Amino acid sequence: MTELRIRAAGPDDLDTVLAFWKTAAEGTSISDDRNGVERLVDRDPEALIIAEQDGELVGTVIAGFDGWRCHLYRLAVHPDRRRQGIGAALLAAAEGRFVRLGGRRGDAMVLQRNETAHHAWRAAGYTPQEQWRRWIKPFGE
């Protein structure tokens, strides 16, 4: 296996990323489509970070920073490549980005039912914040 390459996704990567999430990511959201991801990359070209190995997409993370808070979404590693340090490398890249931007704390959106992810996030030093509940409201198209 060749060395892991971590980089920001560009417009040419978006269809590949969306297909990858169908295999590697748990759950979906209203913005998990071409238009949603395209808007993300247009607005913040460094937010969608991908990992490649042997010419293949093997992991992703979205490292969104709004100037106040650091948000992590879509940390996903291909099922055949898990437990090889790819997730840790993606998180290190995301956390480095946050520090460069002046961020002081990262938070991650993790499905409650995704026990495998809970172990990975804990291993990376993250802890659940049980006193908070996420409230959402989808906006019409």
Structure tokens given for 82: 């898990």
> Which DSSP letter does residue 12 get?
G
Task: Please report which confidence band the pLDDT of residue 8 belongs to, taking 50, 70 and 90 as the band edges.
Answer: very high
For residue 50, which of 88, 17, 1, 28 has the smallest C-alpha distance?
17
**pLDDT of res. 141:** 59
Query: In this predicted model, what pLDDT tens digit does every residue of 14-67 receive, in sequence order?
Result: 999 999 999 998 766 777 888 999 999 999 999 999 999 999 999 999 999 999
Query: In this predicted model, what pLDDT tens digit does every residue of 64-104 receive, in sequence order?
Result: 999 999 999 999 999 999 999 999 999 999 999 999 999 99
- Distance from C-alpha of 19 to C-alpha of 17, rounded to nearest angstrom: 5
Give the right CATH number for 5-123 from 3.20.20.70, 3.40.50.10860, 3.40.630.30, 2.40.170.20.
3.40.630.30
**pLDDT of res. 82:** 92
H helices of 14-134, where?
A: 14-24, 34-43, 86-101, 115-123
**pLDDT of res. 136:** 75
Helices (H) and strands (E) counted in the chain, each on its own, are: 4, 5
**pLDDT of res. 27:** 67
For residue 63, which of 41, 85, 32 has the smallest C-alpha distance?
41
